[in-house]
Chain A
């Protein structure tokens, strides 16, 4: 399996608080992605990165920001968490756009 670690694995927090999720890879892959997955919606792209300090928005980026200061780490921040951001968050990596993506174990986030 690809070396991807997501942290934390589970988190419960309150509305209005900031939350940061971390994705760490040991594969030196260029591309990194953050998805959320909700029942009935499948995987939806939040943000992605195509290199250090190079990021762009995905389909559902409102309320989220990202940073990639080094190749191995891609951080997702919920600036002020809302209950609609309760979801399962997956990080994925790939070395090349024509190669498949490999996923971390996911983070289950509950906003109360």
Chain B
């Protein structure tokens, strides 16, 4: 079983819709969680950190469920520019300086 798993998609979503995807992790001793977005042939860019209490940044909401060991990302009122691959990242307490990366979920917003 992979340590961090994501549905690869693609998720094809009409513009203006709400879309959500999850990321599951295997190690309960996880400390830090992040969502990144990556555009085609570009570097990953931090979208948001994920806090235990959940957090929101404009149209984006991230939540953490420690009991079920997953994090989620919700995008409201989706825009064409939201089309990208979304990567979830987990820092395990015993990961020896490494972040563990999911393979990403591809999102395509259609007009």
Contact = CB atoms under 8 A, between A and B. Distances in A.
A31 B97 contact: yes
B25 interface: no
Contacts of A101: 89, 99
Given A56-B96, A97-B91, A42 B43 contact: no
A13 to B, nearest CB: 20
A42 B97 contact: no
A43 B44 contact: yes
Contacts, number: 46
Interface stretch (A15-23, A61-69, A74-82, A103-111): A103-111
CB-based closest 6 A-B pairs: A42-B103, A103-B43, A43-B101, A100-B46, A98-B32, A100-B34
Contact of A98 (B91, B96, B98, B101): B91
A58 B97 CA distance: 10
Contacts of A50: 97
B102 to A, nearest CB: 7
B102 A97 contact: no
Nearest to B103: A42
